Amino acid sequence: MRWTIERLKNARESEDKVEFKRAEGGNFAYDGGSRTKPAERRRCILGYVAALCNENGGSLVLGMEDKYPHKVVGTTQSINALGDLEAAIYRDVRIRPDVYELFENEETKSGRVLVIDVPPRPIGQVFKFEDVPLMRVGEELTPMSESQYRRIVEEQEPDFSERICEGVTIDDLDDDAIKVMKEKYARKQNNQMFLTLPKERILSDLKLTVEGQVTYGALLLVGKAEIIARELPQAEIRVEYRNSLGKIPFDNRVAYMKPFFLMIDELWHDINLRNGSFPVNEGSYIFNVPYFNEEVIRESINNAVAHRDYRRQSETVIKLYPQQMTIVNAGGFPHGVTIENILTVPSTPRNRLLADVLAKTGIVERSGQGVDKIFYDTLSEGKKEPDYSKSDDFHVELTLSSVMHDQGFAIFIDSVQKGLPDEQKLSVHEIMTLVKIRDGENPARLDKSVVRNLLDRKLIEKRGKTKGTNYILCRSYFEYAGDIAAYARKSDWDENQMRMMVFSHLAKYQSAKMGDFVSLFEGHLNRRQVRDNILKMVKAKALSITGTGSGTRYSISEDFKKGSEVLGEIFDLGLAEFNRRHDTGNVQKTAPNGS
């Protein structure tokens, strides 16, 4: 809750965690300025912000006297630049404050006070100014003692969801939500007897109540909406709809404040109303890829509920656009989890009791597999990788693209996975490695064991001899992508393959100029080599010529088409479909006789 002038006047610095500074001239140092002594440099905005954060939050107030009761003296500090100050603090110490101004006289806008509300530090995290962890001691900012520093970095994150919610009873829980929870548990555990148990026994067995006392986990999962709003208003989830990415005001906003077991289906239903799909039709492969995959969205929301920090007052916000969805959640990653290791470290849920119940009822995956699923499904659909890059120590921000970035890759993965038993399907790490190879990742950065598996499964091919080993996706990917020329450019191919490239190009475009062929083989053959090969094909009566000079065009001769059963079938089916039906694998197998 934000301060008011009257509350500030009577605030106690130590009890209310407030630091008052006069800053009358608006020249209170931001970062130590030109001062040379460390003790003096620390007495600045960044120093106090770091120290207050280390003390589990507080407020720096500029424009009021330190002496109690605190009198307003006014300040011009950062006037008309509150956003710039907030952004600068985040940039320099990675702490996201709430910066705002108050006026003793609102009508005349006199007696201006600048307030910087600093959030509490995450568990196990210490913040520093100029590489020194700070703490307040009286009027001074001093380096944190070694014992205090060690206590903080060795902290274990408590399970908020198992805490008792004082004043809440079993009568404050929603019977409909409990019924849904019972049904999901019975189905997941294949235990129909669970449905016959009284709710008191169910809540106790799931540890949602302890000796009849209700935990915060129970409140979040099955509490009545009005009780959740009273006891834990930050549990609200807001969905904001915008018609374009650049738009700041939302076009519509809906707030959800219900027990999770009743909210999740309603939330997905409302999101799905704005959903659509990409129809994918490539030969015998016909399927639809939704803009927003239901399992991905549900898992992302489930993770937000299970892992968020409920000590923080901000709600979970889902920003929905036609091109993407962004989910912003209070609290950084759980202790030990980073963007770099999110797919490899064991799951460490911030709210273990809540996550455990969600797993037992089949709502979320166990052992951190929820994030795996988000990456697995998103990349398999040819979309961009889920983006956590805007997350920090105080919030997690996940952006999911709704745009199919690479339709050929989606068809490729679908064709590989189709018909395989679960134990033989590609893993999330294999799919991510395929994406990295497709995007030209340095081979030295690839997991060697995963690369070996993909080579054994013939999903990638090894390339390069003199300049070091490289990898490309197998030929079928480029066929699905409709860019077999790219495969040829990346491959070590012979004259027959070169001629087959010409045939496939002409099968698609009917005719071409010499310059088109030169572009087709750019990086592999020079113009003279291309010209010599094309003229050989003309001499062999495989190609015919029309026009003269710069207007000369080449096409496959009708006699050659009729005389080549293979080439005729290619024209009827298309090259990619022909290869799939005949399982040719290598381009040379489709080359017409005598070509």
Q: pLDDT tens for residues 162-176? A: 999 999 999 999 999
Cα→Cα distances 113→3, 71, 97, 108, Å = 11, 11, 16, 14
Q: What range defines the domain where residue 436 resides?
A: 409-477
* Within a domain: 319: no
Please tell me whether residues 213 and 196 are part of one structural domain. yes
In a domain, 378, yes or no: no
Q: Does residue 11 sit in the same domain as residue 145?
A: yes
CA 426 to chain centre: 21
Residues 6 or more apart from 168 whose CB is under 8 A from it? 214, 219, 223, 227, 231
Contact 342, 249 (CB under 8 A): no
How many residues in total does the chain contain? Answer: 595
Residue 296 lies in a domain: no
Q: Is residue 143 part of a domain?
A: yes
CB–CB of 199/333 below 8 Å?
no
pLDDT by residue (tens digit) across 225-271?
Answer: 999 999 999 999 999 999 988 888 889 999 999 999 999 999 999 99
- Residues 524, 489: contact at Cβ < 8 Å? yes
* Rounded Cα distance, 51 and 55, in Å: 6
Q: Which pLDDT score is estimated for 343?
A: 86
Instruction: Give the CATH number for residue 454.
Output: 1.10.10.10
- Both 562 and 427 in one domain: the answer is no
Q: Which of 424, 449, 477 is the last residue of a domain?
A: 477
CB 329 within 8 A of CB 316: yes
pLDDT at residue 242 in the model = 93
* Stretch 481-500: mean pLDDT: 70
Does 403 reside within a domain? Answer: no
Instruction: Report the CATH number that the domain containing residue 35 is assigned in CATH.
Output: 3.30.950
Name the band, by pLDDT with cuts 50, 70 and 90, for residue 594. Answer: very low
Last residue of a domain, one of 184, 213, 233: 233
User: Using CA atoms, how far apart are residues 306 and 111, in angstroms rounded to an integer?
Assistant: 44
Q: Are residues 577 and 502 in the same domain?
A: yes
Q: What band does 592 get if pLDDT is binned at 50, 70 and 90?
A: very low
pLDDT band at 280 (very low <50, low <70, confident <90, very high): confident
Q: Are residues 427 and 563 in the same domain?
A: no
pLDDT for res 584: 40
Do 562 and 512 fall into the same domain? yes
pLDDT of 492 reads 59
Half-sphere exposure of residue 476, counting CA atoms within 13 Å on the CB side?
Answer: 21
Residue 343 maps to a domain: no
Q: What confidence score (pLDDT) does residue 466 get?
A: 46
Indicate whether 449 and 577 sit together in one domain. Answer: no
- What does the alpha-carbon distance between residue 459 and residue 106 come to, in Å, rounded to a whole number? 69
Above pLDDT 90, what percent of the chain? 59
pLDDT, tens digit, for every residue of 376-420? 999 999 999 999 999 988 899 999 999 999 999 999 999 899 878
Cα dist from 274 to 251, 287, 349, whole Å: 13, 20, 31
* Residues 56 and 192 reside in one and the same domain: no
24 and 124 housed in the same domain: yes
What is the number of domains present in the chain?
4
- Same-domain pairing of 174 and 147: no
Give the predicted TM-score (pTM) of the model.
Answer: 0.72
Residue 306 lies in a domain: no
Mean pLDDT taken over the chain:
87
Q: Nearest to residue 75, comparing CAs of 90, 61, 57, 96?
A: 61
* 18-21 vs 58-62, strand pairing mode: parallel
Tell which of 204, 233, 262 closes a domain: 233
441 falls within a domain: yes
Contact 136, 17 (CB under 8 A): no
Using the predicted structure, report yes or no on whether residue 591 has a pLDDT greater than 80.
Answer: no
Residue 530 pLDDT class (50, 70, 90 cuts): confident
Domain match, 523 and 567 both? yes
Provide CB contacts within 8 A for 15, sequence distance 6+.
none
Pick the residue with more confidence: 368 or 283? Answer: 283
Same domain, 144 and 165: no
